[in-house]
Amino acid sequence: MLKSVFRAVSAAILTSLIIAIPPEATQAQTEPTLTITDPQLDAPVILSRTDLMALPRTEYVTTTIWTEGPQRFSGVSLHDLMDHLKIEAEILEFKAINDYSITVPVSEIGQDNPMIAYARNGEPMSLREKGPFWLVYNYDFDPAFRTETVYSRSIWQLDRITAR
């Protein structure tokens, strides 16, 4: 009898705690982030999707080998992000949530290519949709962006960048 009373009280307390947590608190905790580490910075920089959306926007429509038909990607160009954070490096290492990693020489970064996309066709990308962040090139703009090297650098589920 005492056990059933204890369980009922515990369930009531747990339920009241869940109800008491405002939705904004859980949303803030679940917003995807991108962590950027640079030896020149005092500490890693953690940017949310909202932070990235506050930077100059890059957008293009392109086809990819992973999706069907033209896709409209929105994000921040890697060039603009590096400029914003004042990152001066020779190599950038990108890591995905599953620890897949690639490197990109900074010398190969253009003004608009690649971008860190945070939306596809106007919607945030879930993990199933290769989100929350995807390093995307405008593959249709230049045949140089349709190579195995560039495709292998098109890392999705991106969550970390390290400057070297």
Burial track 35-74 (b if 16+ CB lie within 10 A, e otherwise): ebbbeeeeeebebebebbeebeebebebebeeeeeebebb
pTM: 0.81
Domains contained in the chain, CATH given: 31-163 (3.90.420.10)
Report phi then psi at 95, rounded to 5. Answer: -130, 145
**The two three-digit tokens of residue 13, written as one number:** 């307390």
Q: Are 34 and 125 in contact (CB under 8 A)?
A: no
Q: Are 103 and 2 in contact (CB under 8 A)?
A: no
Q: Name the DSSP class of 26.
A: H
pLDDT in tens, the chain (164 residues): 555 544 554 444 444 444 444 544 444 558 999 999 999 999 999 999 999 999 999 999 999 999 999 999 999 999 999 999 999 999 999 999 999 999 999 999 999 999 999 999 999 999 999 999 999 999 999 999 999 999 999 999 999 999 99
Closest among 153, 116, 92 to 33, alpha carbons compared: 116
